[in-house]
Structure 1
Amino acid sequence: MSPLLSLCVFWLLPLVLMLQEHPPLDHGPRRSVPYGDNAHLFREEGVFNYSTMLLREDLDLLVLGAREAVYALDLNDISKKLASVKWEVTQQQKRECKNKGKDPEVECKNYIRILHKMKDNRMYVCGTNAFDPVCDYMSYADGKLTLQKKGEDGKGKCPFDPFQKYASIMVDNDLYSATSMNFLGSEPVLMRSSPVSIRTEFKSSWLNEPNFISMAQMSESKDNEVGDDDKVYLFFSETAVECDCYNKLVVSRVARVCKGDLGGQRTLQKKWTSFLKARIDCPVLESQLPHVIQDSYRWCDPQQNWKTCLFYAIFTPQSDTVGLSAVCAYRVSDISRVFAEGKYKTPVPVETSFVKWVMYSGEVPVPRPGACINNQAHKVGITQTLDLPDRTLQFIKDRPLMDQAIQPIGEKPLLVHRGATFTRIIVSKVQAADGEKYHVMYIGTEEGTVLKAVNYDGEMFIIEEIQLFQPPKPIKILKISDVTGQLYAGSDYGAAQIPLATCERSLSCVDCVLARDPYCGWDRVVGKCVSLSNSSRDLIQSVKEGNATLCPDTDPVKPMNCSIWPGGNLKLSCPSPSNLAQIRWQLDSHPLIPSARFQLQKDGLLIFNASDSDAGRYRCQSVERSKTDEYTETVAVYHVRIAPAGSGKSGQTSSQTQEGPSIVGLQAAVGLLVVALLALLAWNFYKGHLPLPCGKNNGGQPYEERGLNSHITYQEAGRPAEDKPLVSGRDSSSNNNHARAEAASNNAEENNAPKVNLPSLQYIDDESEI
C-alpha cells in the first residue's frame, strides 16, 4: 500500500469505527402538505433568485433581495408589496462582463447578496453587479425604498459570481464577510471591512478551496471570568490539507476570530492574529466519506449564559452513492474549548515530497497563539494584538489548524433523512403543555419543501413536510419571526410564508395528539386542534409519547350510500390522515383481504367486477401506533348495494359516475342489435338500396373497443347525486375504459368466461329511437 493511501485509511479509520456504533435514524414525515395550503406567496414576473432576506420587525417589513430588485413586503402577509426599488446594471457593465466570458443574460446581472441593518436604521446592501460587486446604503421612509447610490467597492464583501457560496454578518456596523477577493474566485478571504480592514492570509493552510456557509457572532465577553473577547464564528467546507489523498477530500470546518483583533505589528500586519479552525464532524452510517456542511443556525436563550448556545447544522454526502442528509447539533462551549485548550496541527515535510500534518507536541508560545486578548495577556502588558510578540504570531501563521475534531452532541446526528437533499435550517423554541421547551427545526430541501421536526429525548420526529414552491425549487434561505409567528422562505422562483403553528390541519383529537406538535393541542370546549399560544384552557397534548387516551369519544361517521351494476368497478375513497398510519378495510365487520378483485390503494379501495356478494357495509379505518398504544379511527363508511340489471336508478352516491351495465346484459343487448343490423342490411341489399361490397368499405367506421366496467369515485361526503346506468359510450376517459376492459377481460379468463370485444354504444333514452 502506498504512503498516500495508507495515510487516508489511517485518517478515516476512527470515523468508520464511530459510524459502526451509531445506527442511522431514518425518518419520514407524518404528514405531507401539498403546495399552496395555508401559505402566502410572492413573486414578480421576470424577477428571479429571491435568496436574501432581512427581517425589519421594527418596521413590520420583510426586506427581500432578488435579481436586480429589492422589495419591502408586509411582514404579516408577504403577498402584499409595500415598496420596491430596482438596481440594474448598465449596458456598458453588461458588455464588459460578457467580454470576460460570462453569460450576459444570467451571470451579468446584479444579484442582491448582502442585506444588513445598521445602527442608524439604514440598511447596507451589496450586489454582484455583473461580476463587479458594489455596495450601497438603503432607507425606508414614507412607504418608499430609496438607494443612496454611493457605490462603495464591494470586493471582499460581496461575491463576484452570483452562484458562489458566501457568508456575511454585521456586528456593531462592522461587516464581516467571507468570499473571494478576485474575479476568478481564486483568492478566498475572511475579512472585516471597517474601521480597520483585517483579513486572512492567502495560504492553503488557512483556506484551501473553501465553500463558505454561514457566520455568527457570540458575545463571549459577557460575564466572562477570564476577560475573553467576543468572537465571530465561520462555518465552511474546504479541501483537507491534512489528508493528501489521490482524490480531493472535502471536510467541514468551523473557524473563529476575535472581535477586537487589529492584526500584528510586523508579522501578520492587517491580518487576523486570532484565526483558528477545526474540523467539525457529523458521523452518518453508510458513508465512508465525511458529510459536508451546507448550512448552520445559532440558537441562544437570551436569559442564559452564552455557553448554553447551540449550533444546528445540516450535512449532505459528498458521494452520490449515499442519499442521506443529516442534522447535527453542537455546543458552543465544546467548540470554544477546542480552540482555547486543544492541540495544534503542524506541517512536516516527508521523503515522498508532500507535507504531512501531525499533532504539534513542542513548546507553545505565551501568550497562546490564536487566543484573544484576555486578563492573562493584560497581566504581561499586552493590551491589544499589536503588542503580541512575533514568536506567537509566526506560530499561528504557520499552524491555524487544530488537531482535535469537534463532535456533535451525543456523538451522533439528531436526524438522518433519506429523501430530498437538505439545503437550509432554522430553529424555533416553543413551550409545550407539559411545561418543557422544545426546539422545533425547520429544514429546507432541494425539492422546495420544508420539514418540521422535533427531537424528543433522542427520538427525532418529523411532524410534517410542506411543499412551498411549485414547480419545486431549492430552498435558499429561511427566516423566522417570533413577533408574527411566521416562517419565511426564499427560492429562485419566489418567496413563501407559512405559520409556525399549523394546528388546523388536524381534524380530530387523536390526529391532533398523534401529530405531537408542541405548538398544538386539542381544545375540548370548541372541539378543535388549536395553538397553545391562542388558548388559555388546558389542552390535550402528548408530544413525547403521543398518548391519545384522554381524547373524548368521537361522533360516529355518517355512512354514504352507493350502488353499482353487476360486473362494474367501484372506488371507495379513504384518504389517510397520516403517512405513519395503516389503512384497514372491513366488509360487514370482517377484515377485507386484498385480492385481484379488491385492490388497496393509498387513497382508497378498488372493487373490480362487482357481484352480489360484494354488497354490504364497508368501513375504512386508520390505525396508527404511538409510543404508548395503537389508535384506530374510522375515516369513512359506505353502504354498497348491487343495482339490479335493467333498473332505472341504483341508489344515492357521493360524487359518482356510472358508465355501463354488466357484461352479461350488454352481451344480450349487443346480440339483439347485431341481429337487427344484419336484417336491415339484408333488406337494403335485396331492395338494391345498397351496392354489394366488392372490396374495402371506405365509408365504414371501425368499431371501438370499450371497457364496460363501472367506475365510481368518492371524494367528498354529503354530496348525493342521482346515478343512472349508462351504456358505455365515447368519452374523454377512453384510456381508463380500455384499462377497465382489460381488467374485466382478465377476470373473465380467470373464471373461464368467454372473452368478447363489444362495440361502443350510446345510452338510449327512448326505445322509439331504435
Structure 2
Amino acid sequence: MSPPLCGRSVRFAPPLFLLLSLGALGAQYCVPRKTFPYQHEELRLFREEGIWNYSTMLLREDQGVLLLGAREAIYALDIHNITSKKAALYWRVTEQKQKDCTYKGKLFEVDCRNYIQTLHKVNDTTMYVCGTNAFSPVCDYMSYSDGRLVLHGRQEEGKGKCPFDPFHRYSSLMVGSDLYSATFINFLGSEPVVLRSSNTAVRTEFKSSWLNEPTFISMEHVPESVDSEEGDDDKVYLFFSENAMEYDFYSKLTVSRVARVCKEDMGGQRTLQRKWTSFVKARLDCSLPEPSLPPIVQDVFLLKHQNWRRSVFYAVFTPQSGSSRMSAVCAYSVVAIREVFNEGKFKTPVAVETSHVKWVMYSGELPVPRPGACISNEARKVGMRTSLDLPDKTLQFIRDRPLMDEAIRPLTGGPLLVTQGSALTRIVVDNVLALDGQVYPVMFIGTENGYVQKAVNYAGEMLVIEEVQLYEDPQPIRTLRLSSSEGYVYAGSVFGVVQMPVSNCGRQGSCSDCVLARDPYCAWDLSAASCSPVNGNSFGSAAVQSLTEGDTSRCTPPEPISVVKVKLVPENNIQLPCRADSNLAQVHWFFSDGRRLHSGPKYYVYGGGLLLLNASVADAGLYTCDSVERLRGRTYNKTMAVYDLQLSHGLGETEEDDLQDETDKAPDSSVGSDIPSTTAQSTIQAPEPDEPLLPETHTDAERVAGLRVGVAVLSLVSLSLFAALLWKLKVGASWRCSPPGGPRDIQAKTPVVEYAHVQNHAHVQNHTAVAAAEVQILAPGSPCISNNNHSAVDFKGNGHPHFTSMANISCLDGLGYINDESEI
C-alpha cells in the first residue's frame, strides 16, 4: 500500500530527488486547512499558582474525574470542566530530604522536589502513584471518594518504578496488579531497566546489547492470548530510542525501537534468572522525505480494536538532526510487528579484524523452542509450561541476540503525515463514526509551540482539518489524553492543562464551510441551518456531509454580498484587504471587465489583499476578491470582498471634517491586520452599498457578506521616489524582504507559498456579514509603512517562522514577507 498524499499543499514541495531516504515516499508536507488562534472562550485551562509540570494524567471516567499529577500536587478535576477542582492532595518533600538531595549536587528548587510521575488505576477504588521525591523515588496507594484524595500511607520503594530524575523520560503500565516500568534504576541514570514489579519480579539484563543509553517513550498491553489458535500469551510492547549497536558510524547514531515481553514470563531456571526470557526488539522505520538520519520516536498511541489483530500503533517522529524541521506520523499494525518477532531473523555480533564487533544477520539454525517466543501449545506438548522450563540453549541465544534483523515497516509503506515547522510532540487517536457509516481514525497531534492539529485519512488523502492554539503563550505539549465518551482532548504542559472539545462545529457558519471542513464530527443540518455534531443527532436525509469529496452541491445558494464603496484619489496607492478562506486556498482578484489581476507594475497581489499603485482615473470600477480552493478536480470559489472604487477629485474642508467625524466613530477592525499602517492612519466606517452584488456565475461556493475597510491617508511623496524604490526592489538591493526578479506572479507562485503560525493574528471568519471594509490609501512613494503594533513573519531556509517587528519590514507581504545496581 502506498503512503497517503496530503491535499494540495501550499508549502514548499520537495524536488523528486529529495523524496529518497530510507524508503521511497510520495507524501507531501501537510498543511492545516484552517488555523484557529487562541480563544479562551472555547478552551478550559487549569493551573494553580506556584505549581508546575502538569505532566501526568489518569482519566477516571467511571468517577467523572481527571486525575492530574504535577510537581508536589495531585488534583481531581471535573472531567467535563477541568476548571472545577473537586479535590487536591499536596505531596511535598521534607526539608531534610531536599538538603540530602542538594548534597548530591542537585538543584534545591528544581531537582529536589517531588514530581508525580506515575498514576495508574489498580481497581475501582484504588490508584497507584509514584513521585521522584527529591531523587529518592517513592510510591504509595491513593483513593478518591467523597470529594477527597487520600494517600493510604503504604509507601514503597520507588526505585525501578519511577525515575530519579524528573526530566528523564520514562514509561509505565499497570496490567492487572502488576506494574511494568521502563526507567533508570540508579541515581546517576546510567542503568536502564525494563521491570515488572510483581510477586515474581523480572527485569532486563544490564547489557548494552539489550538497552544502550535508551530514552523510554511508551508501553502498551495487547491481549494476544484472546482467540489464539497457538495458545499464545499476552504481550507488553515498549517503544523507545537508543544508540544503535548494529551500525558502524564514527559517532553515535540513535534509532527508534519497539520491544516486547510476554506477560507470563517468569525468567529462566539457571540462565537469565529473574530476567526476561522473551525480550526481543526491532528497529522502527519511518522514512522522512529527504536524505536524513533515522528519525526519533517521540510518542505512541495504540488505537485498540475489539479484535486485537486490527489494532494499530500510531507514532510521532522527529529528526535527530537539528538541520531539519520535519516531523512525521507513522502507523504500525500489531500483526506486522508480531510477524517480525515470531518469524523474522535475528542479528548476531561477530568479531572483525579491527577488534570491533559487527552485527550481521544470523543464518544458523535456531534452537527449539524459538528464542524470545512465549510459551505456546507446542511448547506445552513437550513439557514446557513456563519460561522456567526453557532449555539453556534457547536462553543463551536470546541473552546474546535480542535484536531482530528486519525493521518494522509502516502500515502504509511510509508516513501517514509529514509536516514542516514546529515539531510534533504527542498523539492520540479517536475512532469516529461518520454519516456514511464508515469509521475514521482521527488523529490529534500536539506541537512544540502549543497547537493541536486534527488530521484524518480519506481514501489515501491525508487532510489536516485544522489546528487550534491551546496556550496564549507558546507551550510545548508534553501530555495528551483523549476521552472519546466525553468528547474532549486534555493537553498538559509545564504551565497548565487545557481541555479542548474534539470538534467545534459552530465555527463553520455556512453550509459550504461545514462541508468543505470535511470533519467527521460535524455535518450541516439543513433543517436547523447550522453545522452540528454528528454524535447523538438523528439528521436523516436533512444533513450534508461529504468527507472524501467535499461536495457542496446540496448546499443552498449563498446570500448576496454587499459592495463597499471606496473613494479613489488619483496618484495615490490603495490597499484593498482580502484573505483566502483557508490555508489551502489562493486569492484571485478580478476587475470590472472580468480581467484577472496579477502582480506587475500596476498591481501587487499579496497574502493580505491587493495593492493598487499610483491610482488613476482608469482604475475606477469594481474589484472582486475570490478565495479559490481546489479539491479532487473541482474548484470552489468564494467571493470574500467586492470594492467599488469611485473617483474623487479631492477633499475640501467640509469633506475632511466629515471624514474625521467618521474616523472618530469607527470601531476598531481586525480585518487585514497584517497590512502596514502609520500612527496617522484613519479608520472609517464605509457607507452601506447602494445595492447587493449577486453571486457571480464563475464561482460555485457562497459569498461572504463583506469586510470592513480601513483607510490610511499618508502625506504625498514624489512619484519618482516611489518608482525608484520599486526599481531598487526589483534588482534586489538592500531590502531584505525583496525577492529576486521583481514582483512575483501570484498565479505561478501561490502553490509554493509557505505556511506558519502567526501568534495572536486575527483570523478572518466567514460566517458574519459585514457591510464595510478596511482600505489603506497610501501616498505615492510610500509602498512600505511602519507600525510597531503589527508584526510580520519571515521564513528561513528550514521553514521555521521568524517574527519581526513591522517597523523593520520594508515592504508588504508580496514585496518580500508573508504575514500571514543492581538486582531487584
- Please state which band the TM-score falls in when normalised by the shorter chain: 0.7 to 0.9
Task: Check conservation: 2:442, 2:454, Cα contact below 8 A.
Answer: yes
How far the C-alpha of 1:570 sits from its partner, in A, is 4.9
One-letter amino acid matched to 2:43: A
How far the C-alpha of 1:470 sits from its partner, in A, is 2.4
Task: Check conservation: 1:523, 1:529, Cα contact below 8 A.
Answer: yes
Distance, in Å, in 2 between the alignment partners of 1:396 and 1:148 is 41
How far the C-alpha of 1:605 sits from its partner, in A, is 3.6
Higher RCO, 1 or 2 (CA under 8 Å, sep at least 6)?
2
| Alignment TM-score, normalising by the size of structure 2 | 0.77
The one of 103, 108, 124 aligned to 2:112: 108
The one of 553, 558, 572 aligned to 2:557: 553
Distance 1:607 1:709, change over 3 A: farther
Distance 1:754 1:297, change over 3 A: closer
In structure 2, the residue matched to 1:298 is: 302
In structure 1, the residue matched to 2:486 is: 484
1:372 is paired with a residue whose SS is: coil
Aligned pairs for 1:536-685 (under 5 A) are 536-537=538-539, 538=541, 539-563=543-567, 570-588=574-592, 590=594, 591-595=596-600, 598-607=603-612, 612-643=617-648, 644-646=650-652, 648-649=654-655, 657=663
In structure 1, the residue matched to 2:521 is: 519
Indicate yes or no: 2:35 matched with 1:29. Answer: no
Task: Check conservation: 1:501, 1:519, Cα contact below 8 A.
Answer: yes
The one of 307, 310, 320 aligned to 2:309: 307
Task: Check conservation: 1:420, 1:445, Cα contact below 8 A.
Answer: yes
The one of 203, 220, 241 aligned to 1:216: 220
Distance, in Å, in 2 between the alignment partners of 1:755 and 1:276 is 71
The C-alpha deviation readout for 1:157-179, integer Å capped at 9, x for no partner, is: 11111111101111002110000
Distance, in Å, in 2 between the alignment partners of 1:153 and 1:428 is 37
2:506 is paired with a residue whose SS is: helix
Distance, in Å, in 1 between the alignment partners of 2:241 and 2:780 is 69
1:146 is paired with a residue whose SS is: strand
Distance, in Å, in 2 between the alignment partners of 1:376 and 1:488 is 45
In structure 2, the residue matched to 1:8 is: none
Distance, in Å, in 2 between the alignment partners of 1:620 and 1:187 is 63
In structure 2, the residue matched to 1:696 is: none
How far the C-alpha of 1:575 sits from its partner, in A, is 3.7
Task: Check conservation: 1:566, 1:645, Cα contact below 8 A.
Answer: no
Distance 1:397 1:518, change over 3 A: same
The C-alpha deviation readout for 1:270-299, integer Å capped at 9, x for no partner, is: 111111111111112213321111111111
How far the C-alpha of 1:39 sits from its partner, in A, is 1.4
Task: Check conservation: 1:563, 1:653, Cα contact below 8 A.
Answer: no
How far the C-alpha of 1:561 sits from its partner, in A, is 4.0
How far the C-alpha of 1:247 sits from its partner, in A, is 0.8
Task: Check conservation: 2:57, 2:67, Cα contact below 8 A.
Answer: yes
Distance, in Å, in 1 between the alignment partners of 2:225 and 2:661 is 68
Q: Which moved more, 1:608-617 or 1:198-207?
A: 608-617
Give aligned-pair identity as a percent.
53
Aligned pairs for 1:97-246 (under 5 A) are 97-246=101-250
In structure 2, the residue matched to 1:671 is: none
One-letter amino acid matched to 1:627: R
Task: Check conservation: 1:89, 1:110, Cα contact below 8 A.
Answer: yes
Distance, in Å, in 2 between the alignment partners of 1:493 and 1:404 is 41
One-letter amino acid matched to 1:59: Q
Distance, in Å, in 2 between the alignment partners of 1:48 and 1:647 is 61
Task: Check conservation: 2:580, 2:627, Cα contact below 8 A.
Answer: yes
One-letter amino acid matched to 1:629: R
The one of 423, 426, 440 aligned to 1:424: 426
Distance, in Å, in 2 between the alignment partners of 1:711 and 1:614 is 22
Distance, in Å, in 1 between the alignment partners of 2:127 and 2:367 is 43
In structure 2, the residue matched to 1:402 is: 404
1:54 is paired with a residue whose SS is: strand
1:391 is paired with a residue whose SS is: helix
Distance, in Å, in 2 between the alignment partners of 1:333 and 1:444 is 27
1:411 is paired with a residue whose SS is: coil
Question: Which one has the bigger helix percentage?
Answer: 1
The C-alpha deviation readout for 1:64-91, integer Å capped at 9, x for no partner, is: 1111111111111112222211111122
How far the C-alpha of 1:743 sits from its partner, in A, is 8.8
One-letter amino acid matched to 1:438: Y
Distance, in Å, in 2 between the alignment partners of 1:152 and 1:517 is 47
Distance, in Å, in 2 between the alignment partners of 1:593 and 1:714 is 26
Task: Check conservation: 1:212, 1:236, Cα contact below 8 A.
Answer: yes
| Alignment TM-score, normalising by the size of structure 1 | 0.83
Distance 1:132 1:16, change over 3 A: farther
One-letter amino acid matched to 1:448: G
Task: Check conservation: 2:21, 2:291, Cα contact below 8 A.
Answer: no
Task: Check conservation: 2:640, 2:706, Cα contact below 8 A.
Answer: no
One-letter amino acid matched to 2:651: A
Task: Check conservation: 1:547, 1:628, Cα contact below 8 A.
Answer: no
How far the C-alpha of 1:237 sits from its partner, in A, is 0.7
Aligned pairs for 1:730-745 (under 5 A) are none
In structure 2, the residue matched to 1:531 is: 533
Structure 1 unpaired stretches of 5+? 1-14, 660-705, 729-736, 757-770
Two-structure CA RMSD over aligned residues (Å): 3.2
Aligned pairs for 1:384-533 (under 5 A) are 384-533=386-535
The C-alpha deviation readout for 1:410-465, integer Å capped at 9, x for no partner, is: 32111111111111111111122222211111111111111111112222111111
One-letter amino acid matched to 2:361: M
One-letter amino acid matched to 1:339: F
The one of 331, 344, 347 aligned to 1:345: 347
Distance, in Å, in 2 between the alignment partners of 1:623 and 1:55 is 43
Distance 1:220 1:708, change over 3 A: closer
In structure 2, the residue matched to 1:377 is: 379
Structure 2 unpaired stretches of 5+? 1-17, 666-677, 689-703, 727-778, 783-824
How far the C-alpha of 1:123 sits from its partner, in A, is 1.3
**Which one has the largest radius of gyration?**
1
Distance, in Å, in 1 between the alignment partners of 2:521 and 2:405 is 42
One-letter amino acid matched to 2:220: A
Count of residue correspondences: 682
Distance, in Å, in 2 between the alignment partners of 1:152 and 1:656 is 73
Task: Check conservation: 1:709, 1:741, Cα contact below 8 A.
Answer: no
Distance, in Å, in 2 between the alignment partners of 1:623 and 1:654 is 37
One-letter amino acid matched to 2:210: W
